[in-house]
Amino acid sequence: MDLGAYIQIGNLSKLAKLNNINVARLRGYRYMKYEDKPIDINEEIKGLNRYIVEDLVTSLPAWSINYNVHSWNSESDKKVRKFYDFKNERIKWENIHGKHRKNLKYVLKIKKLEVKEQFNLFNKYLGREDILYIHARLGSRNWSGIHYWDYKKEPWYIDGIDDCFDDSYCDIYAKIDPDTLKYVTDIKEDNIDEES
């Protein structure tokens, strides 16, 4: 979930409406003109290790690469600490063997590719005044009957991709008419949360 995009729904909903953009299960917007700081893909990849270990250890069954359910409790917290060193932010490879090790390496490889793909796409549209980023719960593993690719037929649709951390979410890139900005008074760079 992109909380930075979520808090901008109020500021950017009118812009979307003026461009005939209506996406189901909307979770946020970003006006790409004000997104000028590239995402450091290497930093995002560093954060993957903990996320992947937690995901695999808490999956049911544990260490499954095709999980749909997780179990989080004090017991699973202990198990995660056995395989991940939070203080030094490293995987405890010495405690992971056999199929578990193979699964972890495989998932890390796949997730690194997904991170690169998602954030390269975001960085591609940085600073563009004709692009609206849309975050929605329409990824490939969402529970509704629609997905982001169902919007490909829309005249505003440019690109879309699953969220690499939770593929029930997605990012959609929409073309907007910069002339519609003059009808929206509350879109200013200082209204956009730069920390998000």
Give me the pLDDT at residue 110, please. Answer: 94
Query: How big is the chain by its Cα radius of gyration, in Å?
Result: 19
CA dihedral of 53, 71, 110, 103, whole degrees rounded to 10: 70
Give me the pLDDT at residue 194, please. Answer: 39
Give 196's pLDDT tier (boundaries 50, 70, 90). Answer: very low
Is the pLDDT assigned to residue 147 strictly greater than 60?
yes
Residues 98 and 92: their CA atoms lie apart, in Å, by: 14
Give me the pLDDT at residue 37, please. Answer: 92
**81: alpha, beta or left, given left = phi > 0 and alpha = psi -120 to 50?**
alpha
Is the pLDDT assigned to residue 193 strictly greater than 50?
no
CA distances (Å), 124 to each of 27, 32, 70, 119, 178, in order?
21, 10, 34, 8, 18
Residues 38-97 pLDDT 10s? 999 988 888 889 989 999 999 988 898 887 788 888 888 999 999 999 999 999 999 999
Give me the pLDDT at residue 47, please. Answer: 81
In 3D, which of 31, 30, 22, 27 has the Cα closest to residue 154? 22
Give 21's pLDDT tier (boundaries 50, 70, 90). Answer: very high
Contact (CB, 8 A) for 80 and 58: yes
Give me the pLDDT at residue 187, please. Answer: 66
Give 155's pLDDT tier (boundaries 50, 70, 90). Answer: very high
- Average pLDDT along the chain: 90
Residues 98-134 pLDDT 10s? 999 999 999 999 999 999 999 999 999 999 999 999 9
Residues 52-81 as b or e (16 or more Cβ within 10 Å = b): bbbbbbbbeeebeeeeeeeeeeeebeebbe
Long-range (24+ apart) CB contacts under 8 A made by 60-63 are 63/99, 63/100, 63/103, 63/104
